[in-house]
Amino acid sequence: MKIGLDFGTTNSSLSLLADGKITLLPIDEFAQKPEVVRSALYFYPQKLIIANSATDAQIKSNTFNIDQISYEGTAKTLFGQKAVKTYLHDNKYRQEGKLRKIYTGRTFELITWINPYSGRIYKEDVPEVLEEIDYGIGRLFHALKTALKSSYYKGSTVFGKYYSLGELIGMFVANIKKRAESILNEKIEELVVGRPVFFSEDLEKDKVAQKRLESGIKNAGIKNVSFEYEPIGAAKYFVHEKPNIQGNILVFDFGGGTLDTTLINVTNEKFKVLVNDGVYIGGDLFNSDVFINKLGKYFGTEIKWGDKKQPMPSRFINALASWFSIPNLNNAEDIRMLENIKRQCNDPDAIDRLLYLIKTNLSFEIYEAIETAKKQLSSQEKSVITYNDGTLDFEIEITKSEFQKIIKPRMDEIKETIMRTLEKVNLKPKDISAVVATGGSSSLPIVKSMLSDIFGGEKINFFELFTSIAAGLVL
């Protein structure tokens, strides 16, 4: 028995090779396709317990010392579709976010002043305070794979307990492992795991990312982990399924986080990897582009403020470009800044909406609305990005051609990546006998037309978009 894990930014899959047969395991009973699991982890809320020693003033200001608070019970988690659904449901009925400050008992050194004449540095020991916003609901983690390459993100505190990124990934993998073991009635101790061609272009960071992923998977109780490039997985499965196709084959794996390209040469069942390449463009970035282009104005990205008619500070626009960075704006300093901008700008309603978006933690919902509309555009000429909760109400139409215009710069870069991959081994499009397009973002009609323009339509094979990688990992 051999088991493969495609741990994707958006979706994951587990495959099994037993008695020479490949099967994709139906891990997620709540998903449309049970073999395709949303890479999401949800922590159920845990009740806060405040010690008797807390004073009325502390309770009123919601400020405690770390030893005065604890959480009831132990962490319980959900994975996949149910994790997303539960979070969205809970978030609809959330309470207003309450800021809680927790003194950790530690201090850190803060530079309070540098004397400009003598250069003398004045420092002070300040107490470390953790700030958390309590909405009375659980916590959702998604796209954990994206965090692997980040040198900033190390982990998160969830209901009083700190989890490293490796531990969070471990909890997700433990969930799917448990489900797989109950299907197979056998323990899983070994996994072949896919990895993108580049976690990071910086070799050191790339190594660290793979190590973090490996330790995450080991945290789930897997003893032996081996890695394989994701597009090689797809290539192996393609060759396995279509043994008649020979020559140079380009694998185009276009997912939620990255586009990976691999050129292989196949002759008489011999399989040789010519080159691997890729670029950090995936479906998630398209959602960001749509947010900024279609919803940005609604949330104030185009305002002018102050005497000098300044634009919206770029750090706010940057934060809006991903659902997981919007909640970071929920801090006293940024909120104050936005309220200040609101008083001096030409569209205060837009800033009100932005403040509401930030304070009520709606970014994931709104990005989901974009995701839905984007997917519809793969089979329709237009769609509507919809959200209504009584305060935020919008139905913003987007046409396919508008969407394609928005993502044009990304598609140009993708085309360049393909051409660069070919050039690295001195091949021309005519030297390619087949193109294997896989990954969810290959559903975009623009991908089909781009690949057909380069290689000719007859060479393009759309191949098991969501499961080809997992399937090939066990070969």
Binding site residues, ligand ATP, CB under 6 A: 8-11, 145, 255-258, 282-284, 371, 374-375, 378, 439-441, 443-444, 466
The site for Mg ion, by CB under 5 A, has a size of 2
CB 410 within 8 A of CB 292: no
Give the integer Cα–Cα distance in Å for 12 and 27: 10
The nearest distance, CB 230 to Mg ion, in angstroms, is 6
Q: Where are the alpha helices (DSSP H) in 102-248?
A: 144-147, 165-184, 203-219, 230-241
Q: Quick check: 315 and 301 in contact, CB under 8 A?
A: no
Instruction: Indicate which of ligand ATP, Mg ion, none lies near residue 256 (CB less than 5 to 8 Å, by partner kind).
Output: ligand ATP
**Least distance to ligand ATP, CB of residue 443, Å:** 3
Closest CA to 254 of 31, 404, 451, 79: 451
Shortest spacing between CB 10 and ligand ATP, in angstroms = 3
Spatial distance between the Cα atoms of 249 and 459, rounded to a whole number of angstroms: 10
Q: Over 434-446, what HEC string results?
A: EEEEECHHHHCHH
Query: At closest approach, how far in Å is the CB of 82 from ligand ATP?
Result: 18
Q: How far is the CB of 200 from Mg ion (least distance, A)?
A: 17
Residue at token pair 């997917």: 375
The DSSP result for 303-350, as a single string, is -EETTTTEEPPHHHHHHHTSTTTGGGG-SHHHHHHHHHHHHTBS-HHH
**Number of residue whose CB is nearest Mg ion:** 255
Output 8 or 166, the one with its CB closest to ligand ATP. Answer: 8
> Least separation, in Å, of the C-beta of 66 and Mg ion?
40
Asked if 463 contacts 451 with a C-beta cutoff of 8 angstroms, the reply is no
Q: Which partner in ligand ATP, Mg ion, none is near 283 (CB below 5 to 8 A by kind)?
A: ligand ATP
User: Coil, strand or helix: which one is 467?
Assistant: coil
Does the footprint of Mg ion cover residue 8 (CB under 5 A)? Answer: yes
Binding at 262: pick from ligand ATP, Mg ion, none (beta carbon under 5-8 Å per type): none
Piece of 67-75, 169-177, 252-260, 358-366 that binds Mg ion (CB under 5 A): 252-260
- Rounded to an integer, what is the distance from CA 178 to the centroid of its chain? 23
Q: Which is nearer to ligand ATP, 444 or 475 (CB)?
A: 444
50 - beta bridge partners?
A: 69
Structure tokens at 230: 């994701």
Instruction: Give the Cα separation of 414 and 71 in Å (integer).
Output: 47
Least distance (Å) between residue 6 CB and Mg ion: 6
Residue whose CB is less far from ligand ATP, 145 or 177:
145
Complex with Mg ion: residue 34 or 348, whichever CB lies closer: 34
In 3D space, the residue among 377, 393, 366, 365 whose CA is nearest the CA of residue 444 turns out to be 377
Instruction: Give the residue with the Cβ less far from Mg ion, 8 or 283.
Output: 8
The residue (of 9 and 360) whose beta carbon lies closer to ligand ATP is 9
Residue 81 or 330 with smaller CB distance to ligand ATP: 81
Check residue 255 for interaction with Mg ion (CB under 5 A).
yes
Closest separation between CB of residue 111 and ligand ATP, Å?
Answer: 40
Residue 278 as a binder of Mg ion (CB under 5 A): the answer is no
- Near Mg ion by CB under 5 A, which window of 71-79, 145-153, 216-224, 253-261? 253-261
For residue 79, the minimal CB distance to ligand ATP (Å) is 14
Q: Is the dihedral of CA 405, 410, 415, 416 positive or negative?
A: positive
The residue nearest ligand ATP at its CB is 283
Q: Which is nearer to ligand ATP, 316 or 367 (CB)?
A: 367
Query: What is the Cα–Cα distance from 460 to 38, expressed in whole angstroms?
Result: 27
Look at residues 210, 222, 371 and name the one whose alpha carbon lies nearest to residue 295. Answer: 371
Residues that bind Mg ion in the complex, under the rule CB under 5 A: 8, 255
